[in-house]
């Protein structure tokens, strides 16, 4: 008999050698119908694999990300099989699952377009309906090479040739389609209930621009059609909200060939940015942070000392000054450390909270650039907190409280991930264990649900990542809290303790928005460009009905501007209906129509972008209303 330890800690006995699929059936037939993959001793494992005595096993359904990945990986094989049926001579490269779906890279003379998707999906539906079993086979490396050579699958041959000579090659077969694959997969094609092909794009073989450009078809799959429909609706909404389109439509920012990946903010974009940063400053003043500013370019020796030269060099830009190598900063922390080291500190100085809106530069591949979401320079809303070891929990709790307050203003819900030690980390096991357990204890004591993201910490310490959910259900990684006991050691940071001796402080790196530019992109999409009054670049737009009303509108504009209201006047000769429609397209919260009646009564006819006509208001009423919404940030 073999014993398995289940997720709840209970232990169950099973006959030696049975598969994980058979084991879950013995536990519960209803559970077995839902389970698609298992996690054995922390490793995702195909249900076809035999149980191993003493293993800890968690049986996963589609609700788990690993379950989604398994179903979608199988969907990629189904798509490839359908394409094999419809288009002769296709050479298949790789077809993995990805975060929200799957793709397959192919080499073929046929140029795929979305017009081909209906036929491919119809053939996929036939394969699903046939409920073809997927079987796993292990063959020798030489046999696998021969098999794929005979099939004309050059890319598979190349992949196999990169593997060691003595390794057994894992294949998955479904009917007339066989693929080089480590799995895992569901039991049969019938388990892929709902799927859709999304887009087609180009992709270099193995991501190398010197290799051949292949065709990549993206798709997604869900357990239920209703979930697929909801996802498609979300994607359609996302398309409407694309911050790159809205950024151009609302005249917020632009990108230019002279600086790929470097955003140019226009006047309205700067007004939006200033409104966001005003909120940022208020948050940090309330939380007792001091602001600093550090240089953009610092010498190589500093980056070697910080560890970035060894661990982050591929993402950095370099220059030479006075024949000495320098780097443009990709992060603000080494500069903050130098500010700390510029003075001698006592234990009485702690905690020290240093905030910095620092412009950083990181080298991103051209193909990875994506509007404000992936740029080559951005403003990191950074802060570094230096503290006594006894202050760690209190300070981390304070940072979480600040994040919570910030995200609630935007109506953004969030979840937390604890990212643990990566493979390229620095430091001892003891330091990492202490730092990781401290972060874990803080979120648990505060009652915040979290998931563990194994191996995704920074090279100098574990971190808490805050993923916010926008108005259409997408999640974005924004805030992060990194607990660091290694940089203080590398930089020989000290303070004088109560005992008169030198000690090491603890350091926290944290960002709330993450990147000001990226967070603005998130807000643009979250609000679909219709920003709340306090954040809107233009809070009210004055619309004179004719030329004779223009001078009065300009007078009102000056009075509003003196009161801190962000206001514009439409000076065009267009009819009032056109001006209203134009302001609606610009998503201005309020429009002020000005004609003879308004001039006589010294009022403004106010229109709300969503509620329509609100009637005539005095200038003082308009100012008070907009000021109140701006101060409270409730509209």
Please name the residues in contact with 315: beta carbons below 8 A apart, sequence gap of 6 or more: 330, 362, 363, 364
Q: Sketch out the chain's domains with CATH numbers.
A: 2-61 (3.10.20.30), 67-239 (3.30.980.10), 253-293+351-526 (3.30.930.10), 540-632 (3.40.50.800)
Spacing of C-alpha 444 from chain mean position: 24
Q: Catalytic residue among 381, 382, 465, 470, which?
A: 382
For the cut 80, the answer to whether the pLDDT of residue 230 exceeds it is yes
Q: Is the pTM above the cut of 0.85?
A: no
Does residue 384 have an active-site annotation? yes
- Residue 461 DSSP code: B
In this prediction, residue 610 carries a pLDDT of: 92
Asked if residue 472 has pLDDT above 90, the reply is no
Catalytic option among 77, 185, 353, 384: 384
| Residue from 68, 241, 509, 557 carrying the catalytic annotation | 509
Task: Respond yes or no: is residue 627 known to be catalytic.
Answer: no
Predicted confidence (pLDDT) at residue 505 exceeds the cutoff of 80: yes
pLDDT, tens digit (0-9, with 9 covering 90-100), for 183-193: 999 999 999 99
Active-site residue, selected from the candidate residues 308, 353, 463, 474: 463
The reported pLDDT for the residue numbered 634 is: 85
Q: Which tens digits make up the pLDDT trace of 548-599?
A: 999 999 999 999 999 999 999 999 999 999 999 999 999 999 999 999 999 9
Active site residue 8: no
Q: How far is CA 296 from CA 280, 319, 487, 525, in A?
A: 21, 12, 19, 30
Res 426 pLDDT > 80: no
Sorting pLDDT into bands at 50, 70 and 90, what band is 445?
very high
- Among the options 72, 156, 284, 362, which is catalytic? 362
The residue assigned the tokens 């992709």 is 203
Q: Which of 81, 174, 215, 380 is catalytic?
A: 380
Whether 196 is catalytic: no
What is the tens place of the pLDDT at every residue in 297-319? 999 999 999 888 888 889 999 99
382 is catalytic: yes
From the list 333, 377, 478, 512, the catalytic residue is 333
- Candidate from 128-142, 247-261, 463-477 with smallest mean pLDDT: 463-477
Arithmetic mean of pLDDT over the chain: 94
Closest alpha carbon to 439 in 487, 383, 510? 510
- At 347, the pLDDT band (50, 70, 90 cuts) reads very high
Active-site annotation holds for 333? yes
- Is the predicted pLDDT of residue 427 greater than 80, yes or no? no
In the predicted model, what is the mean pLDDT of residues 497-514?
Answer: 94
| pLDDT of res. 500 | 95
| Residue 459 confidence (pLDDT) above 80 | no
pLDDT at 455: 85
CA atoms within 13 A on the CB side of 308: 23
The model's pLDDT over 285-299, given as tens digits with 9 standing for 90+, comes to 999 999 999 999 999
Name the token pair of 3: 């014993």
Predicted confidence band of residue 423 (pLDDT cuts 50, 70, 90): confident
Three-class DSSP labels, 291-314: ECCCCCEEEHHHHHHHCHHHHCHH
- Model pLDDT, residue 243: 95
Cis preceding-peptide flag for 184 (omega within 30 of 0) = yes
Percent of all residues in the chain with a pLDDT value above 90, rounded to a whole number:
82
pLDDT (0 to 100) of residue 2: 85
Q: Are 7 and 27 spatial neighbours (Cβ–Cβ below 8 Å)?
A: no
Average pLDDT (365-380) is: 92
Reported as a pLDDT band with limits 50, 70 and 90, residue 5 is: confident
As a whole-number percent, the residues of the chain with pLDDT over 70 amount to 100
> What is the mean pLDDT of the segment spanning 103-132?
96
Q: Is 362 among the residues known to form the active site? A: yes
Q: Is the pLDDT of residue 460 over 80?
A: no
pLDDT band of residue 480 (cuts 50, 70, 90) is: very high
**Rounded-to-integer distance, Cα 615 and Cα 396, Å:** 49
Q: Confidence band (pLDDT; 50, 70, 90) for 242? A: very high
Average of per-residue pLDDT across 46-53 = 91
pLDDT at 635 over 80: no
CB neighbour burial string for 22-43, b if at least 16 within 10 angstroms, e if fewer:
bbbbebeeeebeebbbbbbeee
């Amino acid at each position: 008999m073999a014993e398995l330890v289940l997720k709840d800690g209970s232990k169950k006995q099973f006959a030696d050698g049975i598969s994980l699929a058979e084991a879950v059936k013995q536990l519960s037939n209803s559970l077995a119908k839902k389970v698609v993959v298992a996690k054995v001793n922390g490793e995702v494992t195909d249900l076809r694999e035999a149980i191993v005595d003493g293993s800890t096993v968690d049986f996963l359904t589609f609700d788990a990300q690993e379950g989604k990945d398994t179903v979608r990986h199988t969907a990629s094989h189904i798509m490839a099989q359908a394409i094999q049926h419809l288009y002769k001579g296709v050479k298949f490269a790789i077809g993995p699952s990805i975060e929200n779906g799957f793709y397959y890279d192919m080499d073929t003379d046929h140029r795929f377009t979305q017009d081909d998707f209906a036929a491919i999906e119809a053939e996929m539906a036939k394969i699903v309906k046939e409920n073809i079993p997927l079987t796993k086979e292990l063959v020798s490396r030489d046999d696998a090479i021969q098999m794929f050579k005979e099939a004309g699958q050059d890319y598979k041959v190349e992949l196999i040739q990169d593997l060691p000579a003595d390794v057994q090659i894992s294949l998955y077969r479904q009917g007339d389609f066989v693929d080089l694959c480590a799995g895992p997969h569901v039991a049969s094609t019938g388990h892929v209930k709902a799927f859709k092909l999304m887009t087609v794009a180009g992709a270099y073989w193995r991501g190398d621009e010197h290799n051949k450009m292949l065709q990549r078809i993206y798709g997604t799959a869900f357990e239920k059609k209703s979930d697929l429909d909801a996802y498609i609706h979300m994607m359609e909404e996302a398309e409407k909200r694309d911050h790159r389109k809205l950024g151009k439509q609302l005249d917020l920012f632009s990108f230019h060939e002279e600086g790929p990946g470097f955003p140019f903010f226009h006047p309205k974009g700067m007004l939006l940015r200033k409104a966001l940063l005003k909120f940022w400053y208020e948050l940090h003043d309330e939380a007792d942070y001091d602001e600093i500013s550090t240089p953009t370019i610092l010498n190589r020796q500093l980056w070697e000392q910080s560890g970035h030269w060894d661990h982050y060099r591929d993402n950095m830009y370099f220059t030479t000054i006075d024949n000495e190598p320098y780097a443009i900063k990709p992060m603000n922390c080494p500069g903050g450390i130098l500010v700390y080291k510029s003075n001698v500190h006592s234990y009485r100085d702690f905690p020290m909270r240093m905030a910095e809106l620092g412009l950083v530069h990181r080298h991103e591949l051209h193909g990875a650039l994506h509007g404000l979401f992936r740029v080559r320079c951005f403003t990191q809303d950074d802060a570094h907190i230096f503290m006594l070891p006894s202050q760690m929990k209190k300070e981390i709790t304070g940072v979480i409280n600040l994040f919570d307050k910030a995200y609630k203003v935007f109506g953004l819900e969030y979840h937390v991930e604890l990212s643990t030690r990566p493979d390229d980390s620095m430091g001892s096991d003891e330091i990492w264990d202490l730092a990781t357990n401290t972060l874990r204890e803080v979120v648990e004591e505060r009652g915040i649900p979290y998931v563990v993201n194994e191996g995704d910490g920074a090279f100098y310490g574990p971190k808490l990542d805050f993923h916010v959910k926008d108005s259409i259900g997408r999640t974005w990684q924004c805030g992060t809290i990194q607990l660091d006991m290694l940089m203080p050691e590398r930089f020989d940071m000290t303070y004088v303790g109560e005992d008169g001796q030198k000690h090491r402080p603890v350091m926290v790196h944290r960002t709330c928005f993450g990147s000001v530019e990226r967070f603005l992109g998130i807000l643009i999409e979250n609000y679909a460009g219709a920003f709340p009054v306090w954040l809107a670049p233009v809070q009210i737009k004055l619309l004179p009905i004719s030329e004779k009303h223009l001078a009065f509108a300009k007078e009102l504009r000056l009075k509003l501007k003196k009161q801190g209201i962000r206001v514009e006047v439409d000076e065009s000769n267009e009819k009032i209906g056109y001006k209203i429609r134009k302001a609606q397209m610009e998503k201005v919260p309020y429009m002020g129509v000005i004609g003879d009646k308004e001039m006589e009564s010294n009022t403004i006819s106010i229109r709300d972008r969503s509620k329509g006509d609100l009637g005539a208001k005095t200038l003082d009423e308009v100012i008070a209303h907009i000021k109140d919404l701006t101060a409270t940030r409730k509209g």
